Structure 1
């Protein structure tokens, strides 16, 4: 019972970390292309992807790194053009201030998820080491 709860929580945290990492890369690409004529900023729907992951209901093996190939049957997160972006005369849609704010927000989300996962793993480590002594 407890193993299932721990396994599910770990899977949720890992998925959140993976999506945050992907989002960080997309935001960084948007910032890097702020001066590129015709560039269309891209994003992922973090909340939507997490809801989709949670609604699947079953646990699948997890990748240990976001760059590893997806597992069979695993849907890759959808990357799409950013909605509501304003076009400049050179047809570049990057709002640098907005991207920087999103970068900071995503960094906080990523570090929070990593810290929470570290705490979970620390509790598991403690249980293994100290669990047998009363």
Structure 2
């Protein structure tokens, strides 16, 4: 999973005329990705906390597919209809947490019917933390560029 490629794909909906206010669109996309990553961290934390609970089924979160589908839909609409900045922002804001796919694994290999694999959960947590930090850095860089422009390049 290439986080750079995944995060950068969210920025692909910008058109040249949006560049002055493009950071708002970029920041909105980053916010949606941060929300999904936070939901994944929460689910992974619950899995780790319940690793010894008999009958507990691990919870997994997938938000990238639905977010990417929304971004692709927005990009297609923008390319064919000349959608402006406000329409793009409204479309991005309409992406909500209901698009996050939360599911439980059905397989289990333990006698107590718990299917939490601590090694897998620790790897998932590490990946989520790194992805979250990368996204926060993207938001920070976006605001730094905006601040630089407001201050006249100083």
TM superposition score normalised by structure 2? 0.70
Alignment of 1:121 with 2:143, yes or no, is yes
Aligned to 1:79: 102
Which runs of 5 or more structure 2 residues have no equivalent in the other structure?
1-16, 75-87
Which runs of 5 or more structure 1 residues have no equivalent in the other structure?
64-70
Q: 1:40 aligns with which of 53, 57, 61?
A: 57
Aligned residues: 123
User: CA RMSD of the aligned region, Å?
Assistant: 2.4
Q: Deviation per CA, 1:89-129: give whole Å up to 9, x if none.
A: 11101001100011001100000110111011011011111
Aligned to 1:66: none
Change (3 A) 1:79 1:87: same
How far apart, in 2, do the equivalents of 1:10 and 1:45 lie?
21
Q: Deviation per CA, 1:22-41: give whole Å up to 9, x if none.
A: 10000000000001111111
Higher-helix-fraction structure: 2
